Structure 1
Amino acid sequence: MLLSVFSSFYIFSDAENLNTKIHESRDYLDISTRYSRVFSTIGAIIVEYKFAEVLAHYHNTSNAKFSLDQEYWSLPSIHHRSAMRLLELCQKNGGVFIKLGQHISTLDYLVPSEYCQVLKCLQSRAFQTPIDQVHRVICQALNISSIDAVFSSFDEIPVGVASLAQVHRAVLKDSSQVVAVKVQHPLVEKFAPLDIQAVGMFARVLKNLFPSFTLQWLAEEISENLPKEIDFLHEATNALRTREIVDELNLEEQSSLYNFLFGSSNQITLCVPKPLLEFCSKKLLVMEFVDDFGCSIEDSSIRTQVMDAINRCFTNLIFRYGWVHCDPHLGNFKLVRPASCGEKYQLAILDHGLYKELSDDIRKSYAKLWLSLIEGDEQGLIESLHTLCPARSSTSRYSEQLEPLTRDGQKAHRLLSSVLSRRSWKALEFGFNVSSSPSSCVKNISITPLITPERLGLITFIFESIQRDLLLVLKTNDLLVSLNFTLSDPEKHDPLMRYIAAVGLACAHALKPNFDDLKTSFTPIFFFSYVQRNLFYYFRLLKYHVVKYIFRL
């Protein structure tokens, strides 16, 4: 007894050591609690699916008669209960799990609709960090004793709260500049490595028990990209690069071929708030404040033009610059009213934490894939998909015609086309009917549910085979298509065709013939080939400018 007392006195003899031990014990408790939630949630979901599978098999094959609550054990009901369990896990664990839930809620072409509907609330609902902890993070990041040393005023109520951080409005003390202060939630960095491991474990268990359905690729993407997302210095660098590109696009828009031919009706200028690097750190991001003056994008009279501006910007970022903003949802845009009648609205692009940079080869192959889809070139689709799935491409590159990638007799390029465009292959087989009027396109629009047992294995096959860099690009495409449907008026405009026109124009720009090829190997035959390719390039540009004009009406 005395030995234990003296041992305890020795271990906790100084306050600092005692404080450290208390913090360590709290950490262990927090970690064990978080992991127990993960295990119990995964276990409950798996047990219910497996039990329902056994129950259905026994009910269908056994001669014994027993009552079965058909509604309770129906697949939609199980999906809904499992989604509610997953939602509770995400809300209680927060941080990485909120991100996971947000990702899953956007995968409506891959997961059952019940999951998307239940988890969609995570896009706009996050937990707020108390103001005293916010002050502590700022002081540690800037190495100051009080935030009054930097800010003359600091709004305690955040203007926005997300899974990883929250944003406050403040005024700098020295310059009186109004700024947005993005502060990382204190526990994010602390638990991120463990949460990433937990998500990976969840994906591995899921893959082993349900081979036809896997989220292993999503776990790998989170593992690779989350450390970048929680580094706000990395986000500041991304914002500066995007700001340069957006400025180029604004200048180009003023002198484009489209404006020369059809005139400009665009009332919107794109912008990216400038980060103030001297006040930024891994956990703190300070940037120009964008005040929307209560101007809601969804309620705006110019929301169709907002949609066109987003389409133009993001398709150019993807296909021409290979610089992909991977989270284009409505919450990451702000529409700013002009100060005077003669000025344009400004559309600010926010949240630059998650980007994917594409190599030139992948960027051009993806552009060729889209142009083949738009123009109804099935062989072009097959060849582009072979380029983007090199591990699955077993056909010799010297064969006359590449065979389509298949699984269980289903053709991968056809399903991928439906995933990208949200239309059935039957509607896409001969390309998009870009010559028809918007009203007829709205009537003939054909968007089919993609989740069927037969297709699930093929979708998983595509996601496991395709170049890893394109996974977030496919997610971005899906978010952009959803935005087009949210902001469009289906009675007046076909949202899909306006997006397709923007994609076609950006892809045409991306595949411009390279003049350097002519300088390295100048021959008469090569020269005429180069001229021919240029004529085709400008004809294609003109075609998509006309399409853009048709669907602007």
Structure 2
Amino acid sequence: MHKKQIMAGFRSVARIGETAFVAAKAGIRYATDKPSNAVLMRQTFEELGSTYIKLGQFIASTPSLFPREYVEEFQKCLDKTPVLPFSYIEQVLKEEFEGQSLDQIFKSIDQKPLASASIAQVHAAVLKTGENVVIKVQKPNVETILYTDLGVVHLISKMLEKALPKIKFASLSDITDEIRRRMVREVDFIEEAQNLEDFVQYLQASQNQYATAPKVYHQYSTRRVLTMQRLYGVPLTDFDVVKKYSKDPSQVLITTMNTWFGSLMMCKSFHADLHAGNVMLLEDGRIGFIDFGIVGQLEPEVWMACMQFMDALQQTNYQEMAKNMLKMGMTKQNIDIDRLAKDIERLFSGVLSTDPQELLGNKPNELNDIMLDMVSVGERHGIRFPSDFALLFKQMLYFDRFMRVLAPYSDIYADSRLKMLHDIEPDSKFIH
């Protein structure tokens, strides 16, 4: 154990040196090329790797704390990470299952990964008992790098204080705490397993037989290794393939959305990264939800206020929009509803001059633009939105892309099959 601590210490020192070197290169680049602050920061974060890429994604998804220029720039912050040789993954497995031979647990493990990201790599495997599984394995030294980087975030926060003077409604220490909370949770696979279990319990409680999530093999899971049932299916972004499994692709989308909307009301947390790689149509016609590493938490009342806001928008009732914006956000001061309503009217009058029904469907980035504008209006009135609020809008953008593939000529939001608000029992243990 002492040796491990010494090695972790050496890796921390090396990481700090690497960070300083990349920062120096950024300084030279700023002096010679004169990029904007947002572009330079995004490029530097990508060069620094996993923790900073995650930090960039946090900036991109938290417009309530960061100016528009940075939010938009960091949407380009892609998680590009190389595939690690299987020998590194095997090393982690042996460390986590110390005292057991891997041959005692697995009949076979595919050395070629199914997927690779900054934090983990996923491999297909077969258990000794014959079940087909996937194992999500944390990459070596990820935690050491993460905690070292988070220690440096305090220094970065001082830079942010100068570079981002528009941060008003949260102290930089609050921002640092939020970053730490999200990142630390993502490297704890025991917590991800619990997120999966909660979702499965929600499906059972709501008697939803049309969706599923992988079974967790807890006896073969640790903080750094997550062993799950392997689901076989196709992504929702290939219409021709989906058509082979379902007569009505639009119903596939509606089932997916209804299940997700229900989780907002009934589940302890909601899947906050439901892109094409994390949801699939299974061979038996059910919808499979996978990868619960990134989740959000939202009070059901906030989601109801969101829906009432959108309903008021369709009716161009700016007073109701203002009231529900207050319910969605947080404020420590008295708000002039009439003034807020007039600001909202100025914001949306241009959008509504076309067709309110098209608000959610025509342009992939339109909803994100609306979110940023809403945050700006709220900021002027002292309203701060919950940090996970933006994750809702990000998911709406994902659904927008699914709509273009599975129901390009339909208005899904006007479809009577879509249930954006679900009835919940007052004594339900799944309510927040």
Q: Output the TM-score relative to the length of structure 2.
A: 0.78
Cα deviation digits, residues 372-393 of structure 1 (max 9, x gap): 3344332222122223334244
What is the Cα deviation at residue 286 of structure 1?
Answer: 0.5
Partner SS, residue 235 of structure 1? helix
Cα distance in 2 between the residues matched to 1:271 and 1:20? 41
Partner SS, residue 239 of structure 2? coil
| Mapping for residues 128-139 of structure 1, pairs under 5 Å | 128-139=83-94
Cα distance in 2 between the residues matched to 1:513 and 1:491? 32
For the 8 Å contact 1:179–1:286, the answer to whether it is kept is: yes
TM-aligned CA distance change 1:311 to 1:200, over 3 Å:
farther
What is the Cα deviation at residue 426 of structure 1?
Answer: 3.2
Partner SS, residue 211 of structure 2? strand
TM-aligned CA distance change 1:101 to 1:500, over 3 Å:
farther
What is the Cα deviation at residue 238 of structure 1?
Answer: 0.7
Cα distance in 1 between the residues matched to 2:220 and 2:363? 53
1:391 corresponds to 2:391: no
What is the Cα deviation at residue 272 of structure 1?
Answer: 0.5
What is the Cα deviation at residue 112 of structure 1?
Answer: 6.3
What is the Cα deviation at residue 32 of structure 1?
Answer: 1.9
| Mapping for residues 120-269 of structure 1, pairs under 5 Å | 121-122=78-79, 125-173=80-128, 175-199=129-153, 201-212=155-166, 219-249=176-206, 251=207, 269=210
For the 8 Å contact 1:271–1:346, the answer to whether it is kept is: yes
Q: 1:242 is aligned with what amino acid?
A: F
Q: Of the two, which has the highest radius of gyration?
A: 1
TM-aligned CA distance change 1:366 to 1:461, over 3 Å:
same
Cα distance in 1 between the residues matched to 2:182 and 2:295? 9
The answer for the alignment partner of 1:477 in structure 2 is: 393
Cα deviation digits, residues 64-111 of structure 1 (max 9, x gap): xxxxxxxx87xxxx45x9647634542x43222232334456679934
1:328 corresponds to 2:252: no
For the 8 Å contact 1:389–1:466, the answer to whether it is kept is: yes
Q: 1:299 is aligned with what amino acid?
A: D
The answer for the alignment partner of 1:536 in structure 2 is: none
Partner SS, residue 286 of structure 2? strand
The answer for the alignment partner of 1:115 in structure 2 is: 73
**Residue 282 of structure 1, aligned match among 207, 210, 223:** 223
Cα deviation digits, residues 412-442 of structure 1 (max 9, x gap): x569xx7xxxxx5433489944xxxx9x997
| Mapping for residues 310-329 of structure 1, pairs under 5 Å | 310-321=256-267, 323-329=269-275
Q: Output the TM-score relative to the length of structure 1.
A: 0.62
Number of residue pairs aligned between Structure 1 and Structure 2: 414
Cα distance in 2 between the residues matched to 1:193 and 1:212? 28
RMSD across aligned positions (CA): 4.4
Unaligned runs of 5+ in 2: 243-248, 428-432
For the 8 Å contact 1:319–1:506, the answer to whether it is kept is: no
What is the Cα deviation at residue 167 of structure 1?
Answer: 0.8
The answer for the alignment partner of 1:101 in structure 2 is: 56
What is the Cα deviation at residue 171 of structure 1?
Answer: 0.8
Cα distance in 1 between the residues matched to 2:309 and 2:381? 16
Q: 2:84 is aligned with what amino acid?
A: T
**Residue 288 of structure 2, aligned match among 331, 343, 348:** 348
**Residue 42 of structure 2, aligned match among 86, 91, 109:** 86
TM-aligned CA distance change 1:211 to 1:21, over 3 Å:
closer
Cα distance in 1 between the residues matched to 2:377 and 2:148? 29
The answer for the alignment partner of 2:379 in structure 1 is: 461
Cα distance in 2 between the residues matched to 1:360 and 1:31? 42
Cα distance in 2 between the residues matched to 1:218 and 1:226? 12
The answer for the alignment partner of 2:18 in structure 1 is: 33
Cα distance in 2 between the residues matched to 1:502 and 1:155? 45
Q: 1:325 is aligned with what amino acid?
A: H
Cα distance in 2 between the residues matched to 1:151 and 1:22? 29
What is the Cα deviation at residue 113 of structure 1?
Answer: 8.8
TM-aligned CA distance change 1:330 to 1:201, over 3 Å:
farther
For the 8 Å contact 1:327–1:476, the answer to whether it is kept is: no
The answer for the alignment partner of 2:404 in structure 1 is: 488
Partner SS, residue 330 of structure 1? coil
Cα distance in 1 between the residues matched to 2:228 and 2:266? 27
The answer for the alignment partner of 1:382 in structure 2 is: 322
* Bigger helix share: 1
Cα distance in 1 between the residues matched to 2:420 and 2:385? 21
Cα deviation digits, residues 11-61 of structure 1 (max 9, x gap): xxxxx99997676445312222124424653x467x56xx9xxxxxxxxxx
What is the Cα deviation at residue 502 of structure 1?
Answer: 8.2
TM-aligned CA distance change 1:111 to 1:351, over 3 Å:
farther
Cα distance in 1 between the residues matched to 2:389 and 2:368? 21
Cα distance in 2 between the residues matched to 1:363 and 1:443? 23
Cα distance in 2 between the residues matched to 1:37 and 1:275? 40
Q: 2:127 is aligned with what amino acid?
A: L
For the 8 Å contact 1:369–1:384, the answer to whether it is kept is: yes
TM-aligned CA distance change 1:446 to 1:514, over 3 Å:
same
For the 8 Å contact 2:61–2:390, the answer to whether it is kept is: no
TM-aligned CA distance change 1:502 to 1:323, over 3 Å:
farther
TM-aligned CA distance change 1:386 to 1:357, over 3 Å:
same
TM-aligned CA distance change 1:138 to 1:228, over 3 Å:
same
For the 8 Å contact 1:276–1:286, the answer to whether it is kept is: yes
Cα distance in 2 between the residues matched to 1:207 and 1:456? 23
Partner SS, residue 135 of structure 2? strand
Cα distance in 2 between the residues matched to 1:36 and 1:463? 42
Cα distance in 2 between the residues matched to 1:353 and 1:463? 34
The answer for the alignment partner of 1:259 in structure 2 is: none
Cα distance in 2 between the residues matched to 1:142 and 1:277? 13
Q: 1:222 is aligned with what amino acid?
A: I
Cα distance in 1 between the residues matched to 2:221 and 2:154? 31
What is the Cα deviation at residue 445 of structure 1?
Answer: 11
TM-aligned CA distance change 1:307 to 1:414, over 3 Å:
farther
User: Which structure exhibits the higher relative contact order, with contacts defined as CA atoms closer than 8 Å and separated by 6 or more residues?
Assistant: 2
The answer for the alignment partner of 2:430 in structure 1 is: none
For the 8 Å contact 1:231–1:282, the answer to whether it is kept is: yes
Q: 1:233 is aligned with what amino acid?
A: I
**Residue 237 of structure 2, aligned match among 283, 298, 301:** 298
For the 8 Å contact 2:265–2:300, the answer to whether it is kept is: no
Cα deviation digits, residues 319-345 of structure 1 (max 9, x gap): 45463211111121233233xxxxxx2
For the 8 Å contact 1:239–1:352, the answer to whether it is kept is: yes
Identity of aligned residues (%): 18
